[in-house]
Amino acid sequence: MKLMILRHGEAEPLLGDDASRELTEHGREQVAAVCRARATELAEVRAIWASPFVRTQQTAAIAAELLGLPVSTEPVLVGDTPPSEVLEALVSVADFPILLVSHQPLVGSLVNGLCGSSNQHPMGTSSLACLSAEVWANNCAELEWLQHAQ
């Protein structure tokens, strides 16, 4: 099974409500470039889940347009959710690969925890990781590739 994890693009500075922060134009461009760079691999995706925050919804919409898929808003994908809760939610997924669009520290915790790699794999804005595993549990996945924004 494959799981793809995308961190939202560059967002506006935090001036008020964090959940309302939008992507910057540069952030939109970075997300689009990463999605184009991995379009062949992303074409395998069967579902897109995104955090309810504005910047992740905007990031997911860029991927969704490329893939022709709807975005499912999943509150479990907010940045401070324990990774174990996301893994529990993945149990109900019948058709992989799935694309998760979220925030730090969750995206980094998922990638590094599933791969058992401490903090070896940084997840900057617009970073996209592809993991494969037989089961979604800590130390059970392999990082197939990690695409960073240019």
> Going edge to edge, which strands form the sheet with 71-73?
71-73, 47-50, 98-102, 2-7, 128-133, 141-147
CA distance 112 to 107: 9
Express each pLDDT in 21-39 by its tens digit.
999 999 999 999 999 999 9
Render each residue's pLDDT in the chain as its tens digit; 150 residues. Answer: 999 999 999 999 988 899 999 999 999 999 999 999 999 999 999 999 999 999 999 999 999 999 999 999 999 999 899 999 999 999 999 899 999 999 999 999 999 999 999 889 999 999 999 999 999 999 999 999 999 998
What is the reported pTM? 0.97
Enumerate domains of the chain plus CATH numbers: 2-11+19-147 (3.40.50.1240)
